[in-house]
Amino acid sequence: MQGIVGSIGYGCGNAVVKRDRNITPPKYTISDPDAEQRRFREAQKTCDLRMTALIEKLDDGNDQALDIFNALQSIINDDAFFGMALSRLKPEMINIEHLIYDECNKIVAQFDATDDTYLKERAVDIENVCNDIIRTLMGLGQDFTEVDHEGDIIIVADDLSPADTLNMKKSAIRGFITEKGGATSHTVILAKALSIPAIVGVKGAVSLISDGDFILMDAFNGTIKVNPGISEIQQFETISKIYGEKQQQYLEDANKNAITKDGFSIDVNINTGDLDGIKNFNADLCDGVGLLRTEFLYLSRKSYPDEELQYKVYKELAVKAKGKEVIVRTLDIGGDKQIDYMDLPKEENPFLGFRAIRICLERRDVFKTQLRAILRASAHGNVKIMFPMIVNLEELRLAKICVEEAKQSLRKEQKKFNENIPVGIMIETPAAALMSDVLAEESDFFSIGSNDLIQYITASDRMNERVHYLYDSCNLSVLRAIRTVALNAEASGIQWGICGEVASEESLIPLWVAFGVSELSVAPFLVGRIKHIIRSLNKAELQKKVENILKGKLAEEIRQGLTELLEGNFN
Ligand code: PEP
Ligand code: MG
């Protein structure tokens, strides 16, 4: 099977296939409704205890997961809801699994029929809880994510949601294979953060792979082998062993500077955006944090995170960074990331709608709370502020006024912060790229958000594998846009970096170096390898060579030219 490379690496193990876990229970007549009620109470207790055990296993401060599990536990114990099924036992003399299933379908249909995203998500929670209770009543196993699998496993799924991944025993996972998703989907970002190989967009994976099948994944060229022969396994073991040794070497080199052969230094930072990432952050193994996605602080909660909570997180990172830069991106919500309590309108085109800075400039109180927290953290390290999704100078100016107001309020309260905190923007819209000369005059730095920039330039949804063939980093228009940004940044004397996934697309690194990039921000496990590549390059030589390659008109020609260029320098 073949798919799209999401997160590089080799993985092998036995498949655990996530199928549609909702089952249809049998319907039969019962003779003893009281015994049936007792059976329900036992199953309810089992599910409740299981949830308590999960909550106890959570790391301190994992508030999002705690909120989710608490919500599920309250549904398990909701007697008003299950009372509807129980009250039908005596009059109908039907087994309890079927009655729960029936009541569940009714309420889910009601919630689904509304336009309210909050109710729709609760419908999913109710379905999950009912399913668990039904499975327990039928003596079936739990959801695959809750099972402690033995040995190495490869997760195969249609798609994985953040909730799916919360429970997984991550130390056993050797790979992710999903049918859905493009190169910057949620699964991919998660896989990279965990340094686990991922292949996405694999058609038919869920139906063609069975639980327990032995899988070899080559997440360099996107191939998957199911139940291979001995010689294939041996070959795979040799290649992956060599790769493992190289990885170890890169890891040891990650703390050294990335300087090209002709003496240009490039920072290789990390992208992070969850509690684990912050807990595991090691400033000695990178040059700083190039992108802190702050959405995780807002997702899966019942209300906005307050200033203190945010301050604590930003400060922890600032202190751990030991003087290295920490670029905190302000809230980038909307698009595919929705938050119930924000009560955002339902939109036809969420990626072109109310998202990121647009929301922050309207919900000023939310924005200022975050800005105050970031500013206060700047007293403890080299913190920078970055605004997402800017499309014009007006937005940038308004956002900077908000920073000034937040500073003013802190001054009044005599709270410490860095008066000269750098304020930069993400270049992730064609508008920002095309007017980057103007934006550069009022920004301290640029960071190219290629994940969105490619989707907006090529008009192809980054999450949709159907249009993945168009979502191409080597489309000439994308490279021209990035070059324009580079030239405009240079003309204004500001630094520019890349924090989208193309920062770690190996064949493109020579191009970024030739364009004069000063910072690349990538998943932590890739830092050493990217630095290794940079050290093999000569910027002046590349600048001459890439001109020829960029005369190519087809994306494939350009990619081929760049791949050969890299192979000439680095193996
Ligand atoms: C990007 O768009 O490239 C980016 C880094 O932001 P995100 O992936 O969070 O949208
Ligand atoms: Mg983006």
383 Cα: distance to centroid of ligand 1 (angstroms): 19
Confidence of residue 116 (pLDDT cuts 50, 70, 90): confident
Residue length, the chain?
571
Neighbours of 114 (CB within 10 A): 11
Q: What is the pLDDT of residues 467-492, one digit of tens each?
A: 989 999 999 999 999 999 999 999 99
- Taking 90 as the threshold, does the pLDDT of residue 18 lie above it? no
Residue pair 453/481 in contact (Cβ under 8 Å)? The answer is: yes
Relative to the alpha carbon of 291, which ligand is closest?
A: 1
How far apart are the C-alpha atoms of 318 and 327, rounded to whole Å?
A: 10
Residue pair 14/152 in contact (Cβ under 8 Å)? The answer is: yes
**Closest-lying ligand 1 atom to the alpha carbon of residue 448:** 3
**Of 279, 264, 295, 191, nearest to 504 (Cα)?**
191
- Taking 60 as the threshold, does the pLDDT of residue 571 lie above it? no
How far apart are the C-alpha atoms of 274 and 292, rounded to whole Å?
A: 9
- DSSP one-letter code for 156: E
Residue closest by Cα to atom 7 of ligand 1: 451
Residue pair 385/374 in contact (Cβ under 8 Å)? The answer is: yes
For a ligand 1 pocket test, name from 274, 333, 426 the mutation site with the most ligand atoms within 8 angstroms of its C-beta: 426
Q: What pLDDT was estimated at residue 415?
A: 98
Relative to the alpha carbon of 389, which ligand is closest?
A: 2
**Of 16, 18, 19, 12, nearest to 224 (Cα)?**
12
**Closest-lying ligand 1 atom to the alpha carbon of residue 447:** 5
449 Cα: distance to centroid of ligand 1 (angstroms): 5
Q: Which listed residue (12, 47, 499, 532) is catalytic?
A: 499
Pocket (CB within 6 angstroms of ligand 1): 184, 291, 293, 332, 428, 449-452, 499-500
Confidence of residue 65 (pLDDT cuts 50, 70, 90): low
Confidence of residue 142 (pLDDT cuts 50, 70, 90): low
How far apart are the C-alpha atoms of 215 and 225, rounded to whole Å?
A: 6
450 Cα: distance to centroid of ligand 1 (angstroms): 7
Q: Among 55-59, 143-147, 224-228, 260-264, name the one with the lowest average pLDDT.
A: 143-147
For a ligand 1 pocket test, name from 428, 471, 502, 505 the mutation site with the most ligand atoms within 8 angstroms of its C-beta: 428
Q: What pLDDT was estimated at residue 144?
A: 54
Residue closest by Cα to atom 4 of ligand 1: 449
Residues 6+ apart with CB under 8 A from 539: 260, 262, 264, 513, 514, 516
Q: What pLDDT was estimated at residue 162?
A: 56
Residue pair 383/444 in contact (Cβ under 8 Å)? The answer is: no
428 Cα: distance to centroid of ligand 2 (angstroms): 6
Confidence of residue 252 (pLDDT cuts 50, 70, 90): confident
For a ligand 1 pocket test, name from 294, 448, 451 the mutation site with the most ligand atoms within 8 angstroms of its C-beta: 451
Report the share of the chain in percent with pLDDT over 90: 66
Q: Among 13-22, 32-41, 377-386, 499-508, name the one with the lowest average pLDDT.
A: 13-22
Neighbours of 1 (CB within 10 A): 17
Q: Which listed residue (186, 380, 468, 532) is catalytic?
A: 186
Q: Which residue type, as a one-letter code, is found at position 171?
A: S
Relative to the alpha carbon of 327, which ligand is closest?
A: 1
Q: Among 243-252, 442-451, 516-525, name the one with the lowest average pLDDT.
A: 243-252
Relative to the alpha carbon of 293, which ligand is closest?
A: 1
Give the range with max mean pLDDT: 112-121, 149-158, 394-403. Answer: 394-403
**Closest-lying ligand 1 atom to the alpha carbon of residue 184:** 8
Q: What pLDDT was estimated at residue 413?
A: 98
How many CA atoms within 13 Å lie on the side-chain side of 497? 28
Confidence of residue 164 (pLDDT cuts 50, 70, 90): low
Q: What is the pLDDT of residues 297-335, one digit of tens each?
A: 998 678 899 999 999 999 999 999 999 999 999 999 988
186 is catalytic: yes
User: Taking residues 395-422, what's their average pLDDT?
Assistant: 98
Confidence of residue 172 (pLDDT cuts 50, 70, 90): confident
Residues 6+ apart with CB under 8 A from 481: 430, 433, 434, 453, 457
User: Taking residues 101-115, what's their average pLDDT?
Assistant: 86
| Helix-helix angle 79-86:33-57, to 10 degrees | 150
Q: Among 29-33, 79-83, 128-132, name the one with the lowest average pLDDT.
A: 128-132
Q: What pLDDT was estimated at residue 300?
A: 66
Residue closest by Cα to atom 6 of ligand 1: 449
**Closest-lying ligand 1 atom to the alpha carbon of residue 450:** 3
DSSP string, 29-40: B-S-HHHHHHHH
105 Cα: distance to centroid of ligand 2 (angstroms): 37
Q: Which residue reads 């956002």 in tokens? A: 399
Residue closest by Cα to atom 9 of ligand 1: 293
User: Taking residues 160-170, what's their average pLDDT?
Assistant: 64
DSSP string, 209-260: --TT-EEEEETTTTEEEES--HHHHHHHHHHHHHHHHHHHHHHHHTTS-EE-
User: Taking residues 140-144, what's their average pLDDT?
Assistant: 59
290 Cα: distance to centroid of ligand 1 (angstroms): 12
Residue 436: its H or E element: helix 436-441
How far apart are the C-alpha atoms of 226 and 210, rounded to whole Å?
A: 9
Q: What pLDDT was estimated at residue 126?
A: 85
Residue 45: its H or E element: helix 33-57
Cβ burial 65-91 (10 Å sphere, 16+ → b, else e)? bbebbeebbebbeeeebbebbbebbee
Q: Among 145-154, 257-266, 377-386, 455-464, name the one with the lowest average pLDDT.
A: 145-154
Residue pair 182/201 in contact (Cβ under 8 Å)? The answer is: yes
Mean pLDDT, rounded, of the chain: 90
Relative to the alpha carbon of 390, which ligand is closest?
A: 2
130 is catalytic: no
Residue 489: its H or E element: helix 476-492
Residue 292: its H or E element: strand 288-293
Q: Report how many helices (DSSP H) and strands (DSSP E) the chain contains, helices first.
A: 23, 16
Three-state DSSP state, 153: strand
User: Taking residues 167-194, what's their average pLDDT?
Assistant: 80
**Closest-lying ligand 1 atom to the alpha carbon of residue 295:** 9
Q: What pLDDT was estimated at residue 161?
A: 64
- Taking 60 as the threshold, does the pLDDT of residue 143 lie above it? no
Residue closest by Cα to atom 3 of ligand 1: 449
**Closest-lying ligand 1 atom to the alpha carbon of residue 428:** 2
Both tokens of 547, joined, read: 């001109």
How far apart are the C-alpha atoms of 393 and 371, rounded to whole Å?
A: 19
How far apart are the C-alpha atoms of 458 and 437, rounded to whole Å?
A: 22
Q: What is the pLDDT of residues 364-387, one digit of tens each?
A: 999 999 999 999 999 999 999 999
Both tokens of 170, joined, read: 């991550």
User: Taking residues 268-290, what's their average pLDDT?
Assistant: 94
296 Cα: distance to centroid of ligand 2 (angstroms): 14
DSSP string, 308-323: HHHHHHHHHHHHHTTT
Residue closest by Cα to atom 8 of ligand 1: 451
Confidence of residue 64 (pLDDT cuts 50, 70, 90): low
Q: What pLDDT was estimated at residue 23?
A: 72
- DSSP one-letter code for 559: H
450 Cα: distance to centroid of ligand 2 (angstroms): 7
Both tokens of 451, joined, read: 């994940």
- Alpha helix positions (H), 493-554: 509-515, 527-535, 539-549
**Closest-lying ligand 1 atom to the alpha carbon of residue 271:** 5
For a ligand 1 pocket test, name from 389, 452, 485, 501 the mutation site with the most ligand atoms within 8 angstroms of its C-beta: 452
**Of 122, 128, 123, 121, nearest to 146 (Cα)?**
128
462 Cα: distance to centroid of ligand 2 (angstroms): 10
